[in-house]
Amino acid sequence: MALSDGVIKVRLRAIEYGVPGINLYTFESLDGQPLPAYEPGAHVDVAMAPDVLRQYSLLWPAVHPTQYRIAVQLSEAGKGGSRKLHFESVVGAEYALSAPRNHFPLRPSDEAFHLFAGGIGITPLISMYRQLKASGRSVTLYYWASSPQHMLFHEQLCHEQDDVRLFHTRTGESPPRLNDVLATLPDEAQLYCCGPQGMVDEFDRLTQGRPEGNTHRERFSATTDALQPGDSFRVTLQRSGMTLTVPAELSLLQVCEAAGVDVAYSCEEGVCGACEVRVLAGQVEHRDTVLTPGQRQRSESMMICCSRGVGEGLVLDL
């Protein structure tokens, strides 16, 4: 794994309790100089060990231009990144971060915005909500969590007006479901969703008939087939003048690296979008969680860490 967008050295300034299983981490620049600016929806790569790199949404607005703040949920089923932060991090320790990268930005629109959050998926959406509110835009935030005690930023959000709807799924109530809310919204509405895989999958299914430019989503985890072996295929790298064979057990990224091709990458799971490459010709088996259904259908780009070519005719702008 590698930090693809330059390296920012920071110090862990503070660790705060959020809700059960979620802590808040504040990083600061080492020299007091401002850190690179970012917009809601952006994330950074956090290097916690030579072989442990994870992506986390930046909370916004920034408390201070020399600080970044993230929320990290402890994952028992993960590969150890969250456990390192929860159990091994020490205030004052230095970390390496990537520059902020944003594949989930707010798109300009005169229509009303509706934001759908599930669990830790609130982290990019509360940032969007705050910016839209500050600019006087019409916005409603819908937030599902198991209980008030497991709802990050619950106290702050309880003080908002009718444009925040908080739903608790394990308190004996019967809160509205995603389908119930979407059924009341016009096709012109701008919809943003971030949450567990099942929630985002349902969002995609329920919004299939809406204009693609009005539906936006972000996933935090790789698909189940992202890193599974696939069929062997050939790829032509147009700028490098190479034709490579990618065997079933290797990724296109691995083969490019072995051939000495300089490629950007980070998560190696199709989640962060750092390895996106323009497709000039050919068919792609998309396995990432970054591209929208429409973008996958057009196949104008692909994530070379996990997605694969089909057959012989793949040509990339590399």
In this prediction, residue 50 carries a pLDDT of 78
Report d(CA 271, CA 279) in Å as an integer: 18
Cis peptide before 61 (omega within 30 of 0): yes
The per-residue pLDDT for 293 is 81
Question: CA angle, corner 297, sides to 294 and 300, nearest 5?
Answer: 95
Asked if 271 and 57 count as a contact pair (C-beta separation under 8 A), the reply is no
Comparing 284 with 48, the larger pLDDT belongs to 284
Q: What is the pLDDT of residue 223?
A: 65
- Dihedral pair phi/psi, residue 177, rounded to 5°: -95, 170
Distance CA 235, CA 101 (A): 27
Tens of pLDDT along 247-278? 999 999 999 999 999 888 877 888 888 899 99
* Residue 5, pLDDT score: 55
* Phi (first) and psi of residue 99, to 5 degrees: -65, 150
Could you write out the three-class secondary structure of 253-302?
HHHHHHCCCCCCCCCCCCCCCCCEEEEEEEEEECCCCCCCHHHHHHCCEE
Do 150 and 101 touch, CB atoms closer than 8 A? no
More confident residue, 207 or 220: 207
For residue range 215-232, list pLDDT tens digits in order: 999 987 766 566 678 899
Which pLDDT score, from 0 to 100, does residue 225 have?
65
pLDDT tens profile 142-183: 999 999 999 999 999 998 878 999 999 887 678 899 999 999
* Mean pLDDT of the 238-255 span: 93
Write down the pLDDT at residue 4: 55
Q: To 5 degrees, how large is the angle CA 126–CA 40–CA 124? A: 40
pLDDT tens by residue, 182-202: 999 999 999 999 999 899 999
**Both structure tokens of 275:** 């390895």
Phi, psi angle pair for 247, to nearest 5°: -70, 165
Ordered domains of the chain (ranges, CATH) = 8-97 (2.40.30.10), 113-218 (3.40.50.80), 233-316 (3.10.20.30)
What gap in Å lies between CA 25 and CA 239, rounded to an integer? 41
pLDDT given at position 77: 67
pLDDT of 92-144, one tens digit each?
A: 999 999 999 999 999 999 999 999 999 999 999 999 999 999 999 999 999 99
Largest CA distance in the chain: 63
